[in-house]
Structure 1
Amino acid sequence: MQSFLDPAILFFIFGILAGALKSNLEIPAPISRFLSLYLLMALGLKGGFALAKSGLTMEVSVTLGLALLLAVLVPALGYLTLRRFLSGFDAAAIAATYGSVSAVSFITATQYLNNHDIDYGGHMAAAMALMESPAIIIAVLLANWVRQKQRGSQGAAAVAGAAKTQDASLGKILHESLTDGAQLLLMGAMVVGLVSGAAGEAAMKPFSIDLFKGMLAFFLLDMGLLAARNMGGLKAQSPWLIAYALGAPLVHASVALGLALLFGVSAGNTALLMVLAASASYIAVPAVIRHAIPEANPSLYFGMSLGITFPFNILLGIPLYTAVAQRVVG
């Protein structure tokens, strides 16, 4: 219950209520974009400052390795599950959405850990960046495989021509996903924090620490409004998809917990790994998938991630994952 009294979470709830009431309250798109970039920059700086203090330790290397492993396991599990009751294209798109990560969920989780004095490593911001792209790559490869199966009856020449086009498309998607502006800003800010160290931390404290809480609350208000407006489109969807949107985060978080426990990751880093594994992208991945897999239905992967999974993780998931990590890992 204490987590619901956090001002940032209360603004998120307020945004959902305002959206449900069909209020004309709206955060202009340029301001929303600025807020997201600010949060990523501040997070990157804080991660870089923390890394400058701790250095490259064994736990840092292990945790980053686990993040990459989860970035492959989660979309693979998602596709195998979803393919049983969806088309290959929809299954690939949703698997990519849930295989990637939500930066806002991660940022909210770091604030939650800070509020409860739970230590975590600054390198977890790098883990988040590493987990964003693999799911997109896997989904594009799966979609290309489905297309090739569908074109199998068109003859070898047609298949070869289609494969050539798809390879070019895959190269473009790889470039877009690896050079995404938000991801580059996060990594660049982390490098700046790492290089500038303690002196940079003192200089940037008013920007990266003092303003952070208020900016997060403002951004979560906007996310609450957006989430409420995407919930209505899910009413006609299959109950299986609703169940997946709620159950998949718990399964993915459990996989992350098991791996973290096996490799001796600390409680704070375990909680963040669970949040990352449980989260679903609703900005970067849908934007890429809409062009990379046009055959998929955007209302499915976008509506599920933003309308169900994101509110679930913000309101219930983060406190749950943190409590479980503390109880199991200690």
Structure 2
Amino acid sequence: MSEIIIQNLISPVVLFFLLGIIAATFKSDLQFPKGLTEALSMYLLIAIGIKGGIELSHYHLEAVIGPVIGTIFLGMLIPVIVLMITRLFMKVDLKNSIALAATYGSTSIVTYGAAVSFLEKSGTTYEGFMNAMVVLKESPAILVSLLLLSIIERQQAVPTTLSSKRVGIVSGHQGLIDKEVLKESFFGKSIILLLGSLIIGLVVGERAIPMVQPLFIDLYQSVLILFLLYMGLTVGERLPEVKKHGIKLILFGVLTPILLGALGVLVGTLAGLSVGGATLMGILAGSASYIAAPAALRTSVPEANPSIYLGLSLGVTFPFNLIFGIPLYFEFAKLLH
């Protein structure tokens, strides 16, 4: 276990993220061109989506329908849970609450990789299609988060006394949804790139590998390093703002993964997964993204503070899951089985 922890903590992506924080802290003149950061975000969304689609194409629908439904369910439910916690109990502003909902609704690929290594070292088998669930969970989480943002902003901006024709759906309920909200949520560039790439990979399957491998597979880790360096710079510049929230954010970054991870293990068990598969479902639910969600938030919710959502995911939840979360979810999965 200590070897897994060390390997992940000294991985290039994490170290370059720390390098960015150091550069920003000491006021280095290191900067990224705006156009480059947009291109990196688009690249990562396409790469994550198409790789997951290709992986999912290897299996028949009957074999994956239960876990697929469970994964989508978690991706839709977790942002709502996180938004309620941050808004009602922590009093975090709307944009940062939405960012946390998207970040914790998505998952950490590095943490997932560490969990796979943990299972392999312990001799525990798991379902191979779980690799595709990593990507499948990203889209619902980001989509639901952006949809929640659109609904809440419209509630705040538009009086509820307006006619139903103008507002959309108004029946005395709090949820106000119209065509513009749905259009923005389903066809925003972050969502359409991630989900569209997943569908393309699923339809084309192995035939896509010769074309996409040189750019979207072989170069993925290198581009990820550049993106994490940029995010480190952004976090370092705004890190002092985290102090405004104090210990509440630290507790959120530790306690929330336990709650969500246990929920993920329960859903995985009910979906018929093995002990290993249920453990990985716990990781999907209990970890927080520092790739897909930040890439989407960078363009969709630029007002959100990266030092909060990325600082928590990498600085608190990531090491917690590596040290305590993975074995905790594993033991819970064994208990349920």
TM-score interval, smaller chain: 0.7 to 0.9
Structure 1 match to 2:3: none
Structure 1 match to 2:42: 37
Structure 1 match to 2:100: 98
Structure 2 match to 1:161: 162
User: In structure 1, the residue corresponding to 2:57 is in which secondary structure?
Assistant: helix
Q: How many residues align?
A: 310
Structure 2 match to 1:274: 283
Cα drift, residue 282 of structure 1: 4.4
Alignment partner for residue 55 of structure 1, among 52, 55, 60?
60
1:196-247 C-alpha deviation (Å, 9 max, x unpaired): 3323213332222211121111211112222222211122335334432443
Cα drift, residue 49 of structure 1: 1.8
CA distance in structure 2 between the partners assigned to 1:72 and 1:320 by the alignment: 25
Give, as a single letter, the amino acid of the residue that structure 1 aligns with 2:190: A
Structure 2 match to 1:67: 71
CA contact (8 A) 2:46 2:197 kept: yes
Q: Which runs of 5+ in 2 are unaligned?
A: 1-5, 121-125, 170-175
Q: Is 1:312 aligned to 2:316, yes or no?
A: yes
CA distance in structure 1 between the partners assigned to 2:134 and 2:17 by the alignment: 24
**Against the structure 1 CA distance between its residues 73 and 105, is the aligned structure 2 distance closer, same or farther, given a 3 Å change threshold?**
closer
1:265-307 C-alpha deviation (Å, 9 max, x unpaired): 35367536634554264454586568xxxxxxx66x6542133
Alignment partner for residue 182 of structure 1, among 184, 187, 190?
190
Q: Is 1:122 aligned to 2:112, yes or no?
A: no
Q: State the TM-score, normalizing by the size of structure 1.
A: 0.75
**Against the structure 1 CA distance between its residues 18 and 114, is the aligned structure 2 distance closer, same or farther, given a 3 Å change threshold?**
farther
Structure 1 match to 2:272: 264
CA contact (8 A) 2:49 2:135 kept: yes
Cα drift, residue 121 of structure 1: 2.9
CA contact (8 A) 2:52 2:198 kept: yes
**Against the structure 1 CA distance between its residues 209 and 286, is the aligned structure 2 distance closer, same or farther, given a 3 Å change threshold?**
closer
CA distance in structure 2 between the partners assigned to 1:113 and 1:222 by the alignment: 27
CA contact (8 A) 2:74 2:285 kept: no
User: In structure 1, the residue corresponding to 2:224 is in which secondary structure?
Assistant: helix
> Identity over aligned residues, as a percent?
21
For 1:234-249, list aligned pairs within 5 A. Answer: 234-249=242-257
CA distance in structure 2 between the partners assigned to 1:187 and 1:105 by the alignment: 15
Q: Which runs of 5+ in 1 are unaligned?
A: 149-157, 291-297
**Against the structure 1 CA distance between its residues 112 and 180, is the aligned structure 2 distance closer, same or farther, given a 3 Å change threshold?**
farther
CA contact (8 A) 1:133 1:177 kept: yes
Structure 1 match to 2:261: 253
**Against the structure 1 CA distance between its residues 197 and 175, is the aligned structure 2 distance closer, same or farther, given a 3 Å change threshold?**
same
Alignment partner for residue 205 of structure 1, among 209, 213, 216?
213
Structure 1 match to 2:25: 20
User: In structure 1, the residue corresponding to 2:162 is in which secondary structure?
Assistant: helix
Give, as a single letter, the amino acid of the residue that structure 1 aligns with 2:16: F
CA distance in structure 2 between the partners assigned to 1:302 and 1:213 by the alignment: 21
Structure 2 match to 1:227: 235
Q: Is 1:137 aligned to 2:154, yes or no?
A: no
